[in-house]
Amino acid sequence: MEGSPPDKAQLDAAFTELYRAHLRDVYSYSYYRVGNHHDAEDLTEQTFLQAYRHFERAQRESEGRPLRPWLIRIAHNLAANYYRDRSRRPQTTIDDAGALPELHTTEGLVEDREDLNRILECVRRLPDDRREALIMRFALGMDNREIARALGRTDGATKVLLHRAIRQLEELVKAEAGTEAV
Amino acid sequence: MSDTWDFETRLRQALAPVEPPDELELRLQTTLGSLVELAADELEAWELRAMKDPRNWPRAALGPAAAVVIGTGAAAGLVVLRTRSKRHKRRAQAHSALDLAERTVRDAAREALRVFHDVAR
């Protein structure tokens, strides 16, 4: 016999939990995708509104698996539309000097800000899929399986994608550093 | 090996998580809360409008003869009354606005059939 449908209050509570747990993930992903706070806020908002609309089905179909990849996939699709609609590319590093420097200084992570900015600039120049995989791995701490689900790829293809992304980025950064040193 | 490890460490630092602004969190909570309330308000108004018009009761479930009989003022009023009396239960059980609308229509058809049987007796 089919189980009774989940109570709406339970669903709302589960969505609130999801939202609290992953607001920072969605925001970080959006921020590194679009490169500015204003659009990242819009993208985050749209992501959660869309997620809210389809939450029940996603929860049913997830069969207990984490929903973070599903959320990030929504953000990924919305970001793709964002670029298509506005014919934009991600902006250079971080435009409004807001969250990133503040976070880095509070975390004591800034040793060489120019170096970090150079890395971010090179991340921006990577092909979309490689850039996204790196954001998911390094900004969100997602594992291969989660990234694979978010990107709709196999685990093996994701592993290769990440490996190539890191290799390409390293080469870009080295080349950039060499150019600046000249 | 160590170069790669160093590079990945630097990459992790460069791509540090970004905290969302406080106002975004508040705005999102307000927006999501409003959506729930708005959906409930809209459905309340829709329920009332839809149930008052027998054309919105599913004919397949009801049958054309029953629809004609119940389409009279008093019987239609009875269907609306009975259907609305169950709205709190429907809302508690529904898991989306669409689901709630479907439950409302099903309840209306069920109540219309009951009213038809009462009238025919």
Average pLDDT along chain B: 66
Q: Which of A12-16, A168-172, B30-34, B65-69 is least confident? A: B65-69
Do A177 and A118 touch, CB atoms closer than 8 A? yes
Q: Does A58 touch chain B (CB under 8 A)?
A: no
Quick one: closest CA in A to B10, which residue? A116
Cα three-residue angle A27-A116-B23, rounded to 5 degrees: 25
Res A136: pLDDT: 97
Q: Which of A14-18, A75-79, B26-30 is least confident? A: B26-30
Q: Does A19 touch chain B (CB under 8 A)?
A: yes
> Is B53's pLDDT higher than 70?
no
Q: In angstroms, rounded to a whole number, what is the distance separating the alpha carbons of residues B71 and A13?
A: 41
DSSP annotation string for A94-143:
-TT--HHHHHHHHHT--S-HHHHHHHHHHHHHS-HHHHHHHIIIIIT---
The half-sphere exposure of A49 on its side-chain side, counting CA atoms within 13 A, is: 13
Do A73 and A150 touch, CB atoms closer than 8 A? yes
Q: In angstroms, rounded to a whole number, what is the distance separating the alpha carbons of residues A169 and A162?
A: 10
Q: Which of A86-95, A139-148, B84-93 is least confident? A: A86-95
DSSP annotation string for A54-102:
HHHHHHHHHTT--SHHHHHHHHHHHHHHHHHHHT--PPSS-TT--HHHH
Tokens of B3: 């170069």
Cα three-residue angle A59-A65-A69, rounded to 5 degrees: 85
Res A97: pLDDT: 39
> What residues in A contact B37, CB-CB < 8 Å?
none
Share above pLDDT 70 across residues of chain A, in percent, rounded to a whole number: 79
CB contact under 8 A, A44 and B16: no
Chain mean position to CA B82: 19
CATH number 3.50.50.60 is the correct assignment for the domain at A109-182: no
Res A29: pLDDT: 96
Res A71: pLDDT: 96
**How much is the average pLDDT of B78-91?**
64
| Residue whose structure tokens are 């921020």 | A31
Cα Rg of chain A (Å, integer): 18
Mutate which: A2, A138, A140, A166, vs B, most B CBs within 10 A: A138
Mutate which: B8, B18, B89, B93, vs A, most A CBs within 10 A: B18
What are the residue boundaries of the structural domains of chain A, listed by start? 7-90, 109-182
Res B100: pLDDT: 67
CATH classification (class only), A7-90: mainly alpha
Q: How far is A50 from chain B (nearest CA, A)?
A: 11
> What residues in A contact B8, CB-CB < 8 Å?
138, 166
> pTM to 2 decimals?
0.65
**Angle subtended by helix axes B2-14 and A113-125, to nearest 10:** 90
pLDDT tens digit sequence for A143-165: 999 999 999 999 999 999 999 99
CB contact under 8 A, B15 and A24: no
Q: Residue A24 — φ and ψ, nearest 5°?
A: -65, -40
Quick one: closest CA in A to B26, which residue? A45
Of A153, A177, A182, A172, nearest to A73 by C-alpha is: A153
Q: Greater confidence, A134 or A5?
A: A134
**How much is the average pLDDT of B83-106?**
66
**How much is the average pLDDT of A121-127?**
93
Q: Greater confidence, A154 or B102?
A: A154
**How much is the average pLDDT of A71-88?**
82
Q: Greater confidence, B52 or A58?
A: A58
Do B33 and B88 touch, CB atoms closer than 8 A? no
Q: Greater confidence, A9 or A138?
A: A138
Amino acid at B26: L
Tokens of B41: 């308000």
